[in-house]
Amino acid sequence: MRKPALLKPALLKPTPTRFIGSTVVASTLILALSACGVTGTTASTAEATASGPLKNIQVMIPNAPGSGYDVTGRAAVKVMDEIGVTTGTEVTNLAGAGGTVGLARTLTEKGNKDFMLLMGLGVVGAAYTNETDAKVADATPIARLIEEAGAIFVPTNSPYKTLDDLIAAWKKNPGAFPVGGGSSPGGPDHLLPMQLADAVGIKASDVNYVAYDGGGELLPAILGGKLQFAASGYGEFLEQVKAGELRVLAVTSEERVPVLPDAPTLKEQDVDLVFTNWRGLLAAPGLTKAETARLVTAVTAMHDSDEWAQVLEDNGWTDAFLTGDDFASFLTEQDERVATVLTDLGLV
């Protein structure tokens, strides 16, 4: 049994969305938020709003609309707006190179106290595989928000009814077995099938991985029969699973997840692998301690709200809130871990 492993871009034109008051002027979000009543003011909300809400914050999403980053970032902005810690926030999508286009843009905003980037494990990995000069360590850490295990998806008309069926077919000819994910090489949707291949005796170098820029682009590929299976966060395609368009062969968590109770874990199916993705927020470099603290305070108020608790429940996300030096240390550890995994798999 193998030991489980945890875990030069061209600029594209950003796509902005502005949140004004409590009204969202945006394309339809792939997110079902339950209606929340007005809750009592928490201590963190009171602190965040003591000098008035933060105005005209820009939050950049480094993937296309509909991706996991997009859903998470827009949900966070919506809650901050609803509880009154921000107003007039603009959400901008700037996809490319696994999120490193957005990271590079963030680093050009040095000293901009009103700018944040929604990012995660994928951006850490893509910084290696894209050989970019932009590094996560050069930005200002604000908060880790959530964790989410991965899942193996197939269309409902797939001949593979179980993970064993899929693995048996995959082993026969890995090069002719296209596998897709919403990450560029080094991202979570790439690392998951590579580590899965390693766990079941397939060489990572033989895997035919097809990269898509986020779940919004991955979904039509798997539904359209271009892939044998897709690897992504288990919450990415909940609506399609509920609608009977996709089937989940496995989740990568230690235990089954409440939103997909019928989906077995990899471990239940004798594959010794646990894999978890995470998402969080960075700010521009060069901020003062006071400027960093004001962003952390606003995000903490969001995290402590009943509205955010409902978002976590609706999406099946695990609360993984971490700020300050703890988040900075976590980012350093993740950077080292991704480098080790990519090296061990012969991918860098």
Q: In Å, what is the CA distance from 51 to each residue of 20, 38, 45, 54, 242? A: 19, 21, 11, 9, 44
- Residue pLDDT, tens place only, 244-288: 999 999 999 999 999 999 999 999 999 999 999 999 999 999 999
Question: Stretch 96-100: mean pLDDT, rounded?
Answer: 90
Annotate 68-134 with DSSP letters as a single string.
HHHHHHHHHHHHHHHTTSEES-EEEE---GGGHHHHHHHHHTTT-TTEEEEEEHHHHHHHHHTT-S-
Question: Stretch 73-102: mean pLDDT, rounded?
Answer: 96
The CATH number assigned to the domain holding 188 equals 3.40.190.10
Total domains in the fold of the chain: 2
Residues 128 and 169 in one domain: no
pLDDT number for residue 61:
97
Amino acid letter, 320: A
Q: Is residue 130 part of a domain?
A: yes
Residues 140 and 158 in one domain: no
Burial 116-136 (b: 16+ CB within 10 A, else e): bbbbbbbbbbbbbbbebebbb
pLDDT number for residue 245:
98
Beta-bridge mates of residue 248: 153
Q: State yes or no: pLDDT of 24 exceeds 60.
A: no
Q: Which of 243, 269, 295 is the last residue of a domain?
A: 269
Question: Stretch 292-298: mean pLDDT, rounded?
Answer: 97
Q: State yes or no: pLDDT of 87 exceeds 50.
A: yes
Is this structure's pTM higher than 0.85? Answer: no
Residues 154 and 261 in one domain: yes
pLDDT number for residue 36:
35
> Strand locations in 170-325, DSSP E?
179-181, 209-211, 229-233, 246-251, 276-283, 318-323
Question: Stretch 96-114: mean pLDDT, rounded?
Answer: 96
Least confident of 37-41, 207-211, 270-274: 37-41
Q: State yes or no: pLDDT of 348 exceeds 80.
A: no
Q: Give the model's confidence band at 20: pLDDT under 50 very low, under 70 low, under 90 confident, else very high.
A: very low
Residues 285 and 136 in one domain: yes
Q: In Å, what is the CA distance from 238 to each residue of 22, 29, 42, 69? A: 26, 14, 31, 15
Q: State yes or no: pLDDT of 240 exceeds 90.
A: yes
Q: Are 72 and 215 in contact (CB under 8 A)?
A: no
Q: Give the model's confidence band at 233: pLDDT under 50 very low, under 70 low, under 90 confident, else very high.
A: very high
pLDDT number for residue 49:
59
Longest CA–CA separation in the chain, Å = 63
Residues 284 and 331 in one domain: yes
How high does pLDDT run on average in the chain?
87
Query: Which DSSP helix (H) or strand (E) runs through 302?
Result: helix 289-303
Task: Name the pairing type of β-strands 140-155 and 246-251.
Answer: antiparallel
Residues 164 and 226 in one domain: yes
Q: State yes or no: pLDDT of 214 exceeds 90.
A: no
Question: Stretch 144-154: mean pLDDT, rounded?
Answer: 97
Question: Stretch 130-154: mean pLDDT, rounded?
Answer: 96
Q: Tell me how crowded residue 240 is: count the other CB atoms within 10 A of its CB.
A: 18
- Stronger pLDDT, 182 or 1, i.e. the higher one: 182
pLDDT number for residue 215:
87
- Residue pLDDT, tens place only, 153-166: 999 999 999 999 99
Q: Which of 228, 253, 269 is the last residue of a domain?
A: 269
Question: Stretch 116-124: mean pLDDT, rounded?
Answer: 96
Percent of the chain with pLDDT over 90: 73
pLDDT number for residue 66:
86
Q: Is residue 7 part of a domain?
A: no
Q: Tell me how crowded residue 153 is: count the other CB atoms within 10 A of its CB.
A: 28
pLDDT number for residue 131:
87
**Domain range for 198:** 149-269
Q: Which of 214, 216, 211 is nearest to 178 (CA)?
A: 211
The CATH number assigned to the domain holding 301 equals 3.40.190.150
Q: Which of 232, 249, 269 is the last residue of a domain?
A: 269
pLDDT number for residue 35:
32
Q: State yes or no: pLDDT of 42 exceeds 80.
A: no
